[in-house]
Structure 1
Amino acid sequence: MNSSQYNFYVSTVSFSNKNNQVKVLKHHPDLQVYGTGRSAVVFKVNGEHRVIKIFYPPFEKTAIQEKNNYEKLKGSSYYPTIYESGPNYLVMDLIEGKTFFECLAEGILLKSDYVHQVDNGLQYARDVGLNPSDIHLHNLIVTKEGTIKIIDVARFSQEKQCTQWQDLKNGYEKYYHRTYFPTKIPKWIMNSVSKLYRLRNK
């Protein structure tokens, strides 16, 4: 598909923002909402193994930052490939799998090899001059092939040191394989812990 077509798709998308709740009002029928986040919504493109990540106003600067960070990570299998970008969007690989959050909620085993792969991916980011930050359960994906993909890297260029992944890993190593650790963790518990963590580290 040519670049003007992706740009056209982006132009068909509109949002509403009420009480800090962003909703998609309309989009081209070739697009399907694939995921939403604090700064962007991801659309799957029909007939392609790609997605378009469109950033809400006023997160255009975040789009540029994420593009620059992905360019530095180019060549690593731990991160999606970027095919095109615009002032407020990125076109990248469609990643099919389960996030760490979904695995914990559904009782899918998080293997120690997954944690090792995350460590390798984050070390690669450090080696190219980035500072891995904001590593949480939603941006770590286990693919159908059992490999790890790390997404949402806009904050990898911040200077502040982030201990979130180390804290998660410490919890995994200390508690996850204990007999008393629950097979499934309710989503509301994980969301509550995440919210408290963000408040503590503001």
Structure 2
Amino acid sequence: MSWKQIVPLMEQVRITTVGDNELVQVVYVPEKITCVGLGTDAAVFVHSEYPLYAYKVYAPGREKKLENEEKAYRMLGENPYFPHFYGKGPNFIVLSYERGTNLYDCLIEGIYIPKAAVKQVDAAIQYARERGLNPRDIHLKNIILQDNGIRLIDVSEYVREGNDRRWEHLKEGYRLFYRFIAHKKIPRPVIEFVKKRYAKQQGPGFSVKSFGASLFRKLFRGKEKNLSL
């Protein structure tokens, strides 16, 4: 079944923005269509009878994001690291629906994140660079852990210049601190607290080791003796 058969339904989906850094809100969704993901620019929907496809619908005013993401996916081409790009509609792109658990939810659910996943993200980044892109904005929610590896999603930032170092910081944090929390369920408020502290402190001279050690002592008071870096 072609993804084009339900384009008329997808054109009826309505979403709206709330603020620059707030998740979009879904205003209207036709029957048999389910929202499976929300972002600050778009929302992702699937149709119950077309489970292979994910429709990423962009909010009004986010047309440039759609344009950038389409360009990035076309440049990536067929590969084992990113969703397959099928096509586009007036305000959406159509991708392969990638099942799995993003790394943010892995932390919440206590799902182990293996070293192999980190190496595969590195391989995906290298592949994207070889295709002429600049991988950036790579964070926990943009990495999906699957049975046979990982998938990276949300690539609209890949056409921009500059290095936000988010992946480098995540990878260093994994190397230094993940062993202390592996297999443990981390409460969402704790993750959000770390995110907000990181957003305020990261910049020139930022040290993952110092940042992480400070947070560990704050969040796990009394267990400092276990912190050996």
TM-score by length of 2: 0.80
Greater C-alpha Rg: 2
**Is 1:59 aligned with 2:96?**
no
Tell me how far apart the structure 2 counterparts of residues 100 and 21 of structure 1 sit (CA, whole Å).
Answer: 18
1:14 Cα offset (Å): 1.6
1:14 corresponds in structure 2 to: 14
Check the 8 A contact 1:64/1:88 in 2, yes or no.
no
1:156 corresponds in structure 2 to: 158
Tell me how far apart the structure 2 counterparts of residues 87 and 199 of structure 1 sit (CA, whole Å).
Answer: 37
2:84 corresponds in structure 1 to: 81
Of 15, 36, 39, the match for 1:37: 39
**Is 1:123 aligned with 2:137?**
no
1:5 Cα offset (Å): 3.5
Q: 1:21 to 1:113 in 2, by over 3 A?
A: closer
Secondary structure of the corresponding residue to residue 83 of structure 1: strand
Secondary structure of the corresponding residue to residue 177 of structure 1: helix
Indicate the percent of aligned positions where both proteins have the same amino acid: 32
1:182 Cα offset (Å): 7.4
2:175 corresponds in structure 1 to: 173
2:28 corresponds in structure 1 to: 26
Tell me how far apart the structure 2 counterparts of residues 9 and 181 of structure 1 sit (CA, whole Å).
Answer: 42
Secondary structure of the corresponding residue to residue 151 of structure 2: strand
Unaligned segments of structure 2, at least 5 residues: 204-229
Check the 8 A contact 1:44/1:51 in 2, yes or no.
yes
Check the 8 A contact 1:99/1:141 in 2, yes or no.
yes
Q: 1:12-47 CA deviation, whole Å, 9 max, x = no partner?
A: 112344565632121221311111111101001221
Q: 1:28 to 1:192 in 2, by over 3 A?
A: same
Secondary structure of the corresponding residue to residue 138 of structure 1: helix
Unaligned segments of structure 1, at least 5 residues: none
1:181 Cα offset (Å): 6.3
2:216 corresponds in structure 1 to: none
TM-score by length of 1: 0.90
Q: Which has the higher helix share?
A: 2
Question: What is the identity, as a one-letter code, of the residue corresponding to 2:13?
Answer: V
Give the total of aligned pairs: 200
Question: What is the identity, as a one-letter code, of the residue corresponding to 1:70?
Answer: Y
Secondary structure of the corresponding residue to residue 101 of structure 2: strand
Secondary structure of the corresponding residue to residue 113 of structure 2: coil
Check the 8 A contact 1:63/1:87 in 2, yes or no.
no
